[in-house]
A and B are shown apart, each in its own frame.
Chain A
Amino acid sequence: MEKIIQLFILIPLLGFIISLIIPSQNEKLISLTAFTSVGINFIGFVIFVIYWLFNGFPVLNLKEILIYKTTNYEFLLDFYFDKITVVYLFVGSFLTFLVTIYSRYYLHREHGYKRFFNTILFFYVGYSITVLSGNFETLFLGWEILGISSFLLISFYRERYLPVKNAIKVFSIYRIGDVGILLAMWMSHHLWHENITFLKLNNYELVHEHLQNHSWIGVFISLMILISAAAKSAQFPFSSWLPRAMEGPTPSSAIFYGSLSVHIGVFLLLRTFPFWEYQYSVRVIIGLLGLITAIMGSLTARVQSSVKSQVAYASLAQIGLIFIEVAAGFETLALIHFAGNAFLRTYQLLVSPSVVSYLIREQFYNLTPRVHSSKFALPKRLQYTIYMLSLKEWNLDWFVYQFIWMPIKLVGRKMKFLNFKAALVLFIIILIGAIAALQNESAIPDQVHRFLPELIGLFGLLLVAKSFAERQSVMVSWTLVLMNNIMIALAISFN
C-alpha cells in the first residue's frame, strides 16, 4: 500500500516533463497534458483514499530513494501519508484540476501559455512532494519547488516592472522561510543525530526524551519552524507580501495565493505538531502570532479598496485563526477551516472581475446614504488612527523593508568579496575535498575531524547569506541555496 503513494508524485512529475517538450504553439496538447495528468492524479488519489479508508486509515510511511548514505548518516526521500496529507492533497488536486481546465480557455492566445502550464504543473509537483513528505529533507525539496514556481508565476508578465519587482520581494520572503527550515533541520540533526522522520515525531517517548536534555534546542527548532510557517503563510510580520503576489493571471493568483501556497505554513505546523505539542510556550507564541495576524489582517481587509488585496487580507486573517486552532490542538477543525478557506478564496478571486457589474447593480438599486460603518463606537481620534494604520497595512511593508531588506542589503554589500563564481569554485573544491575525505575518513586526524562539520556548516551559512543578498538573479540565489543544502548534508555526514 505504501508503494502507491509515490505515484501521486510521479504522475504530476511525468505530466510536468511531458509539458516541457511540447512545442509552445500547441495549446491543445499542452492543456491536455496538464489537465489529464492532474485529473488522473486526482481520480487515482480519490480511489486510493477510499481504499485507505476501508483499511482503517492507517498512517503510511515509505522510505524511498536513498540519496546518500554513510555509516552514521543517510539522506533519503521519505513519504508519509495520514489524515493531514489526505485533506491537503485532496484540496490541492481538486483545485489544481479545476484551475487547469479553467485556464485552458482563460489563457487561450496568451503569450506564455506553455510557460503558464509548465509552472502550474511544476507547482503541483512541489505541492504534492511537500504534503506527502515524510521528513524535513523531502519537505524542503517540495518547499523549494513551491518557491521557484511562485516566483515564476508572479513574474509571469516579466516584461513589466512591478511583477518582477514583487516576484523578487516574495521570493526573498520565502528565503526567510527557507532559512528557518534549514536551521531547524540543522539543529534537529544535532538533536537526533539522524534524519528524523515525521513518523518518529509521533513517538511521544522518543521526542520527550530528547527534548528533556535539550529543551533550548527544542524551542529553537520550534521557533524556526514557526518563522518558516509564518513567512510562507503571510502571517505577522510578513503579511504584506501576499497582496503583492497577485500579479500573475487571475487563476494562478487564485490557487497560489488564495489557497494552496499560502496554507503550506499551516501544513508545516500541523506536520510538526507532535514535536512542539508539549512546549507550551511555543504554542502560546503560535497562538498569539495567529491572533495578531487575524486582527491586523481583518482590519486591513476592511479598508482595502481593490478586490484582490481585500481577498488576500481576508484570507490571511483566516489563516491567523487557523494558526490559533492548530496551536490549541484542534487539528480537525483546522483542516476543515483550511479546506473551506481555500475553496472560498479561490472562487472569490476567480470571479473577482464580476464584482464590478454585480456591486454596481447592487448599488444602483440599494445605495443608501452613508452611515458610519465602523461598528464599534470608538472615539473619532482612535477610529481615524486605526483607519489610517490599516490603510498603511500597519506599516508592515515598511517594517519588512527596514528590518529585513536593509540589513540584508548591508550584509550583501559586505559580502561583495565573495562573488558567485568564487563561491562556486570554493564550493566545488570543498565538495571534492570532502568527498575524498569521507572515503578515507579514518585517515583524518581527530582534531581536524572535529572541526570539519562546523567549518563546512559555516560555509553553508555563508552561502545562505549570500543567496539572501543576491537581488539580481533568482537563479543564482536559488543555486546558492541548493549548494547550501549539499553543504549541510556534507557537514552532517561528518558528524
Chain B
Amino acid sequence: MKNNQSNFNEHEVLHELKHFLPAQAPLKDFIHHNTLHSFQNLKFYDALHQAAKIFGFKTTLSLNDYRNLHKKGRIDTEVLERIIEAKKGKAELELWKNKLFKKQFDYQIDSRIGKLKANWKNNYKIDMDALVHPLLFRIVCSYLDQGIAIWNFPIEHKGFLSSIRELERMSYSSIFNSKRVKDLLLDNNCSIEHLLEILVGDETLYAQYLYDQQFAHQGWSGMVSFIEDNPNALLDTKKITLHDFIVFELLLEINALDSQYGNNWKPLKDNLKERPTPLFAPVENTELNEVIMLWQDVYEWTYYDQVLAGVQLGYDNKAPKKAKSFQALFCIDDRECSIRRYVEQNDINCETFGTPGFFGVEFFYQPKNGKFHTKLCPAPVTPKYLIKEINTRGNKEKDVHYSKKSHSLFQGWIISQTLGFSSAFKLAVNIFKPTMSPATTSSFKHMDKFSQLTIENKNINQREGDLQIGFTVDEMVVRVQNLLNSIGLIENFAPLVYLVGHGASSINNTHYAGYDCGACSGRPGSVNARVMSFMANHKKVREILANKGLVIPDTTQFVGALHDTTRDEMEFYDEDLLNETNKMLHEQNKKTFEKSLDENAKERSRRFILTNTKDSAKKVHEAVKLRSVSLFEPRPELNHATNALCIIGQRDLTKYLFLDRRSFLNSYDYKIDLDGTFLTNILKPIGPVCGGINLEYYFSRVDNQKLGAGTKLPHNVMGLIGVANGIDGDLRPGLPSQMIEVHDPIRMLVIVEHYPEIVLKAISQAPETYEWYNNEWMHLVSVNPVTRKLQVFENGQFVPYNPLITKLELAPNLNHLVESTEENFPVFLFNN
C-alpha cells in the first residue's frame, strides 16, 4: 500500500482499490456484511481511526453522544471506572475521568481522501465532479439497467468500454465535446496510464488520484466492482470491469477540461504547490481517539455486564425433564428471540431451539416457471443441489401501474386518461384501507404452500447443468444428523417437531431483501424448512439414523413452517401428511403459536410510535399487519435494529432472561460435543453472518451519510440495482436511517457455553474465524457449563470476568413492561 513507489502498477492499484470499495450486492440480494471489511486485518479501534483519517468516515459516536448517554444513565459510571483502571491504571483514574467528562477536543478530522483531486478546483476553478458525475452515472446506470428503461443500452455483451466505443463510432452524436477525447477512445489509445499522464502527469500521484476519483462516488464504483466479481448478481448479466469504468471517467474528465479550456490546461502536477499526504501513510493516534475508545468500551460493557450477570444469576433449571408437548426450531435470528419466549410461556411443556435458518440444507431453488435459480443457504456456500417447485396452484398477479406502456407517448395518452383515474382510486384505497397487492413483497409468495418439491434424488443422473436435482438418502442422513446434533436434540423427541423458517413482508421497500433470512442468502426460509422436514420424516433416513444411534420415534413427525416477522403470521406446510393423533396435537399447538404471535406483535409495537401498544394483543397485531401492506410505512419492521448478542448454548442459559429481542440464539449442547467439533462449525458462520449484520448496523448508525444510505424518503431507484438521492446522485450503499435509528452502535458479544480451552480451540481452527475475535470486531465470552464462571477473550487468551452487577431486577408483568416505553430495556429476570 505504498504510494511513493516510482512505478505505477495498474493491476496492483486496481486490486487494492477494489478491496476498499463498498462490497454491497445489487438490491435483489441484499446481504449484510462488515462495511469496513477492508480493514478487518487490523484491530477494531485501529481500523476505525485509520478509516476516519484516510476516508473521512465517522466511525464512532461523537464525544457528545457518549457524554449524553452517560447523563441519561445508559453508560454506567462503575463500569467506566473499572475500565479506566484496567487500561490506564488506578493512579490515572481521575485524570482520565476528567478527559472523558470535561475536556474540550477539536473534532475536525482532516481526512486525506480527495485532497489531490481538489487541486482542479483550486487551480482551474472547475467543479469537475459536477461536470462529470451526472453523465457518468447516467451512462453506467443505463448500461447496467435491469429493466427500468424501455429502450435498453443498444450494444451489450461486448463489455462496457467496447460498447461505448461502438456507440461512438456508429453515431452522429457524441458523448464528448472534445474531438481529442473521442479520438482517444476510438483509436483505443486509452490505457489508464496514458490518460493519467494527460491528466496528472506524475506517476507517483496516479494511485492517489484514482482513489480520490473513485471515492468521490464510492457507491457506483463499489457496485461496478461487485458486478465485475459476481456477474450472476444480475439476472440480466452485464460485462463490466472497474478498469473500463475508470477509463471512461478519465475520458470524461479530460473532456470536461477540454471543453472548458481547449488546449489551455496542463496536467495536475504542473500547478501542484505541495504534495498531499499519501493516503496510507501511518495514522497517528490522538488523545481524542483514546477517549472515544474508552467511552465505546464502557458503553458496550455497561450492557454486556448486565447480560453476563444475568447468565450467572438466571434461574437454573434443575427440574426433572418432563415429556415435551412439541419442539420447535427457529432461526438464530434476533427477531425470533421474543417469539420463542412467548411460545415457551404459552406452553410450558414445549421446547424451542435456535439454528441458522437454512436448517443445514444447502441448495438452489427454482420456483415453478422461474427462469433462474435462487440460492437458499448462507452466502459463502455454493450448493451442488437443485430443488424445484412443481404442481403449484394459483397465478401470479400483475399490476398495470408498473407497466412501462404508460411512459410511451400514445399509449400513455390513453392510459393517463383511463388508468389515471383508477390510480386516484387505488391511492385513496391504500391510504384508508391498506391491503395486499401484487406489489407487496410477501414471504409467503416465495413458495406456493400447496406445491410439491423435488427433494429426493433417486437417480444420480437426474441433473440440470452441474446441479443434482434433490438429495440422495445418504446425503439426507448426513444433514439431518448434523442438524440435530448441533442443537443437541438427540433424544426425548416430542410427537411434533416444527422447523420454522422466517421471512418478511413489505411494500414500497427497496431494501426488502435485507429483511428476509440472512442464513438463506436474504430469502425466506420456507423451502429449507420443508426440505429438512421431508428429510427427517423420510423412512429410510430414520432407519439409517437409528443404526447410527440416533433414534427418532415413529410417532414423531417434523413439520415445516414459515414465520413472517413483519406480519407475525405463520404458515405450516404438508399438514395433510400428519397422522391422526398429531393432527389433533397440531391444532392445539397452532393455538399456542397464534397467541404467541399476537403477543409478539404487541411487544414489537412498542417501538412503533404510531401504533397504540396499550391495546389488546389481538388489536395491536391487526395494526402491525396493516403496516406491512401500507404504502406510506417506511418501517414495516425494524429488522435487526438493537442486535447486540449472540448466545451459543443450551436454552436454560438465557431462558429466564428478558433480552429484549437483542440476541441471536444458537442452541448447542456441550455435553454431546466435548471436543468442540460441532462448535467449530457453529462458530464459522457467526462472524460473517451475525458479525456482518452487527457491524453493518454499527457503521450505518454512526455515519448514516457516508456509510449508510441516509433517509430513504427521497430515494430514487436506479436500474433496479441500487438507490440514489435524486437523479444525479451517487448510489447509496448501507442501511437507510429508518432501519438504524433505534440501534445502539455496540459490537456483538458472543457467549459460548463451553470450557474456555475448547472455545479457544474451536475459534483457532480457521484463521478467518480467529481474526474476528482476536482483532476485536466481536467480543467473546466463555461460560463454564458447570460453574457458570465467565472468561473473556482478550489478546489471545481467556481471562476471568466477574460482573459488577450482583442483582438483577425481576421483570414486572411482561405485558405491562412492553407498554411502558419505546426505549431499550435493561436485562431483566423473569419467572413464569
Chain A residues with CB under 8 Å of chain B are 94-95, 98, 101-111, 156-157, 160, 162-163, 165-166, 243-244, 246-251, 253, 294-295, 298, 301-311, 313-314, 317-318, 321, 336-337, 339-348, 350-367, 370, 372-374, 380-385, 387-392
CA distance A104 to B171 in the complex (A): 49
**Is A388 a contact partner of B173 (Cβ separation < 8 A)?**
yes
- In the complex, given contacts A308-B727, A314-B408, A384-B167, what are 8 additional A-B residue pairs having Cβ atoms less than 8 angstroms apart? A165-B130, A253-B714, A318-B412, A340-B419, A341-B420, A344-B415, A348-B401, A384-B171
Interchain CB contact (< 8 A) of B172 among A108, A345, A385: A385
The 7 closest A-B pairs by CB, nearest first: A340-B420, A347-B423, A344-B420, A298-B409, A314-B407, A305-B145, A343-B424
**With an 8 A cutoff between CB atoms, is B769 at the interface?**
no
**Is A391 a contact partner of B152 (Cβ separation < 8 A)?**
no
**Is B713 a contact partner of A247 (Cβ separation < 8 A)?**
no
Chain B residues with CB under 8 Å of chain A are 27-28, 130, 135, 138-139, 141-142, 144-152, 154, 156, 167, 170-175, 235-236, 367, 369-372, 396, 399, 401-402, 406-409, 412-413, 415-421, 423-424, 426-428, 431, 438-439, 441, 507-510, 512, 609-610, 630-635, 710-720, 724-729, 738, 741
CA distance A294 to B154 in the complex (A): 23
**Is B417 a contact partner of A337 (Cβ separation < 8 A)?**
yes
CA distance A344 to B795 in the complex (A): 62
**Is A305 a contact partner of B728 (Cβ separation < 8 A)?**
no
With contact pairs A354-B508, A359-B148 given, residues A298 and B418 touching in the complex (Cβ less than 8 Å):
no
With contact pairs A102-B632, A298-B408 given, residues A337 and B148 touching in the complex (Cβ less than 8 Å):
no
B407 to chain A minimum Cβ distance, whole angstroms, is 4
CA distance A244 to B399 in the complex (A): 27
**Is A306 a contact partner of B236 (Cβ separation < 8 A)?**
no
CA distance A56 to B717 in the complex (A): 48
**Is B509 a contact partner of A305 (Cβ separation < 8 A)?**
no
- Between A and B, 19 residue pairs with Cβ closer than 8 Å are A98-B431, A101-B431, A109-B738, A163-B714, A246-B726, A298-B407, A303-B142, A303-B151, A343-B424, A344-B401, A353-B510, A358-B439, A367-B235, A367-B236, A367-B371, A367-B372, A373-B150, A381-B172, A388-B173
With contact pairs A157-B725, A305-B719, A306-B727 given, residues A381 and B170 touching in the complex (Cβ less than 8 Å):
yes
**Is B421 a contact partner of A339 (Cβ separation < 8 A)?**
yes
Smallest CB-CB separation from A388: which chain B residue? B173
**Is B401 a contact partner of A351 (Cβ separation < 8 A)?**
yes
Which one of B144, B146, B423 has the highest number of Cβ atoms from chain A below 10 Å of its Cβ?
A: B423
**Is A247 a contact partner of B726 (Cβ separation < 8 A)?**
yes
**Is A294 a contact partner of B713 (Cβ separation < 8 A)?**
no
CA distance A374 to B151 in the complex (A): 6
Smallest CB-CB separation from A368: which chain B residue? B371
**Is A390 a contact partner of B713 (Cβ separation < 8 A)?**
no
A391 neighbours in B (Cβ, 8 Å):
138-139, 142
A130 to chain B minimum Cβ distance, whole angstroms, is 21
**Is B631 a contact partner of A351 (Cβ separation < 8 A)?**
yes
A495 to chain B minimum Cβ distance, whole angstroms, is 45
CA distance A357 to B720 in the complex (A): 9
Interchain CB contact (< 8 A) of A355 among B142, B144, B426, B717: B717
Interchain CB contact (< 8 A) of B173 among A340, A358, A363, A392: A392
B509 neighbours in A (Cβ, 8 Å):
353-354, 357
**Is B428 a contact partner of A98 (Cβ separation < 8 A)?**
yes
**Is A318 a contact partner of B416 (Cβ separation < 8 A)?**
yes
Interchain CB contact (< 8 A) of B423 among A301, A348, A384: A348
B403 to chain A minimum Cβ distance, whole angstroms, is 10
Interchain CB contact (< 8 A) of B716 among A110, A246, A384, A387: A246
**Is A341 a contact partner of B717 (Cβ separation < 8 A)?**
no
CA distance A290 to B261 in the complex (A): 37
CA distance A373 to B510 in the complex (A): 27
**Is B370 a contact partner of A360 (Cβ separation < 8 A)?**
no
With contact pairs A107-B713, A307-B148 given, residues A358 and B512 touching in the complex (Cβ less than 8 Å):
no
A148 to chain B minimum Cβ distance, whole angstroms, is 20
With contact pairs A352-B716, A360-B28 given, residues A310 and B634 touching in the complex (Cβ less than 8 Å):
no
Interchain CB contact (< 8 A) of A364 among B139, B235, B426, B631: B235
**Is B150 a contact partner of A307 (Cβ separation < 8 A)?**
no
CA distance A147 to B58 in the complex (A): 37
**Is B409 a contact partner of A363 (Cβ separation < 8 A)?**
no
B62 to chain A minimum Cβ distance, whole angstroms, is 16
B613 to chain A minimum Cβ distance, whole angstroms, is 15
CA distance A337 to B715 in the complex (A): 28
B510 neighbours in A (Cβ, 8 Å):
353, 356
**Is B408 a contact partner of A302 (Cβ separation < 8 A)?**
yes
A259 to chain B minimum Cβ distance, whole angstroms, is 10
Interchain CB contact (< 8 A) of A363 among B27, B147, B512, B725: B147
**Is A166 a contact partner of B726 (Cβ separation < 8 A)?**
yes
A101 to chain B minimum Cβ distance, whole angstroms, is 5
**Is B421 a contact partner of A343 (Cβ separation < 8 A)?**
yes
CA distance A247 to B399 in the complex (A): 26
**Is A356 a contact partner of B726 (Cβ separation < 8 A)?**
no
With contact pairs A306-B141, A308-B727, A336-B417 given, residues A356 and B27 touching in the complex (Cβ less than 8 Å):
yes
**Is A310 a contact partner of B413 (Cβ separation < 8 A)?**
no
Interchain CB contact (< 8 A) of A343 among B146, B420, B724, B741: B420
B50 to chain A minimum Cβ distance, whole angstroms, is 26
**Is B149 a contact partner of A304 (Cβ separation < 8 A)?**
yes
**Is B28 a contact partner of A244 (Cβ separation < 8 A)?**
no
**Is B154 a contact partner of A383 (Cβ separation < 8 A)?**
yes
Smallest CB-CB separation from A341: which chain B residue? B416
Interchain CB contact (< 8 A) of B146 among A104, A318, A360, A380: A360
Interchain CB contact (< 8 A) of A390 among B151, B370, B401: B151
A385 neighbours in B (Cβ, 8 Å):
171-173
CA distance A372 to B156 in the complex (A): 11
Smallest CB-CB separation from A107: which chain B residue? B713
B625 to chain A minimum Cβ distance, whole angstroms, is 15
Which one of B150, B428, B510, B725 has the highest number of Cβ atoms from chain A below 10 Å of its Cβ?
A: B150
Smallest CB-CB separation from B442: which chain A residue? A357
**Is B235 a contact partner of A317 (Cβ separation < 8 A)?**
no
A318 neighbours in B (Cβ, 8 Å):
409, 412-413, 416
**Is A305 a contact partner of B408 (Cβ separation < 8 A)?**
no
CA distance A308 to B141 in the complex (A): 14
Smallest CB-CB separation from B143: which chain A residue? A305
Which one of B167, B174, B416, B439 has the highest number of Cβ atoms from chain A below 10 Å of its Cβ?
A: B416
Interchain CB contact (< 8 A) of A302 among B146, B150, B424: B150
CA distance A190 to B666 in the complex (A): 84
CA distance A480 to B634 in the complex (A): 40
**Is A305 a contact partner of B718 (Cβ separation < 8 A)?**
yes
B508 neighbours in A (Cβ, 8 Å):
350-351, 353-354
A301 neighbours in B (Cβ, 8 Å):
150, 407-408
CA distance A311 to B406 in the complex (A): 9
B346 to chain A minimum Cβ distance, whole angstroms, is 32
B235 neighbours in A (Cβ, 8 Å):
360, 363-364, 367
Interchain CB contact (< 8 A) of A388 among B171, B407, B741: B171
**Is A302 a contact partner of B151 (Cβ separation < 8 A)?**
yes
**Is B420 a contact partner of A342 (Cβ separation < 8 A)?**
yes
B127 to chain A minimum Cβ distance, whole angstroms, is 10
A305 to chain B minimum Cβ distance, whole angstroms, is 4
CA distance A166 to B714 in the complex (A): 14
CA distance A247 to B172 in the complex (A): 33
B138 neighbours in A (Cβ, 8 Å):
305, 391
B418 neighbours in A (Cβ, 8 Å):
340
CA distance A145 to B674 in the complex (A): 75
Smallest CB-CB separation from B445: which chain A residue? A361
B66 to chain A minimum Cβ distance, whole angstroms, is 21
CA distance A166 to B727 in the complex (A): 10
CA distance A463 to B207 in the complex (A): 50
B406 to chain A minimum Cβ distance, whole angstroms, is 7
A288 to chain B minimum Cβ distance, whole angstroms, is 16
Smallest CB-CB separation from B130: which chain A residue? A165
Interchain CB contact (< 8 A) of A347 among B148, B427, B713, B728: B427
Smallest CB-CB separation from A244: which chain B residue? B727
A384 to chain B minimum Cβ distance, whole angstroms, is 4
CA distance A180 to B738 in the complex (A): 43
